[in-house]
Structure 1
Amino acid sequence: MPKIVTVTNQKGGVGKTTVTCHLAFAAQEAGKRVLVVDFCGQGNASQFLTQDLRINKQRGGAETLFSSNELKFSDTPWDNLKVLHGHLYLEELDKKEDELLKLAIKLRPAIRSLPFDYVIFDTPPALGPRIAGPLFWSDTAILTVQPKLSSITGLDDTFDTIKGVKRINHGLSIRMVVNLFTKSSKTQRRFREDLQKKFGNAIIEEFPLRTPVSDALENFKPVWQHARDKKLGQHWKMFSKRVLDLGV
Structure 2
Amino acid sequence: MKPFLDVGEKFGKNSGRTTVITIANQKGGTGKTTTAYNLAYALSNEGKKVLLVDFDPQGNLSMCFGIEQPDQLQLSMFNVMNAIMSDEPLPPAEEYIHTHGNIDLIPSNIELSVAEINPSLGLLTINALAASDSVLIPVNPQPWSATGLTQLLRIIVKVKKCINPRISIEGILMTMCNTRTNLYKEAFRLVKVYYRETFHIFEVQIPLSVK
Structures share fold, TM-score greater than 0.5: yes
When structure 1 is superposed on structure 2, of 57-66 and 180-189 the one drifting more is: 57-66
Number of the residue aligned with 1:26 = 42
Match of 1:178 in 2: 174
Which structure would you say has the larger RCO, counting Cα contacts within 8 Å and 6 or more residues apart? 1
Q: 1:86 aligned to 2:108?
A: yes
Partner of residue 45, structure 1: 61
1:234 aligned partner: none
The residue number in structure 2 matching 1:119 is none
CA RMSD of aligned residues (A): 1.9
Shift of 1:30: 2.4
Unaligned 5+ runs, structure 1:
102-128, 216-248
Identity of aligned pairs, percent?
A: 26
- Aligned pairs for 1:160-171 (under 5 A) are 160-167=154-161, 168-171=163-166
Q: TM-score, normalised by structure 1?
A: 0.67
* Per-residue deviation, 1:208: 2.0
Q: Which amino acid aligns with 1:52?
A: I
Match of 1:207 in 2: 206
User: How many angstroms apart in 1 are the aligned matches of 2:42 and 2:108?
Assistant: 21
User: 1-side partners of 2:200 and 2:74: how far apart?
Assistant: 37
- State how far apart, in whole Å, the 2-side matches of 1:3 and 1:190 are: 34
From the superposition, tell whether residues 90 and 151 of structure 1 become closer, same or farther in structure 2 (CA, over 3 Å).
farther
What SS does structure 1 have at the residue aligned with 2:78? helix
Task: Please tell me whether the aligned partners of residues 138 and 175 of structure 2 are also in contact (alpha carbons under 8 angstroms).
Answer: yes
Matched residue, 2:136 = 142
Unaligned runs of 5+ in 2: 1-16, 84-89
1:46–1:56 contact (8 Å) kept in structure 2: no
1:1-26: CA deviation from partner (whole Å, max 9, x where unpaired):
42101000011111001110112112
SS of the counterpart of 2:180?
A: coil
Please give the alpha-carbon distance, in whole angstroms, between the structure 2 residues aligned to 1:20 and 1:163: 23
Match in the other structure for 1:58: 73
What is the TM-score when the length of structure 2 is the normalising length?
0.78
Equivalent pairs counted in the alignment come to: 182
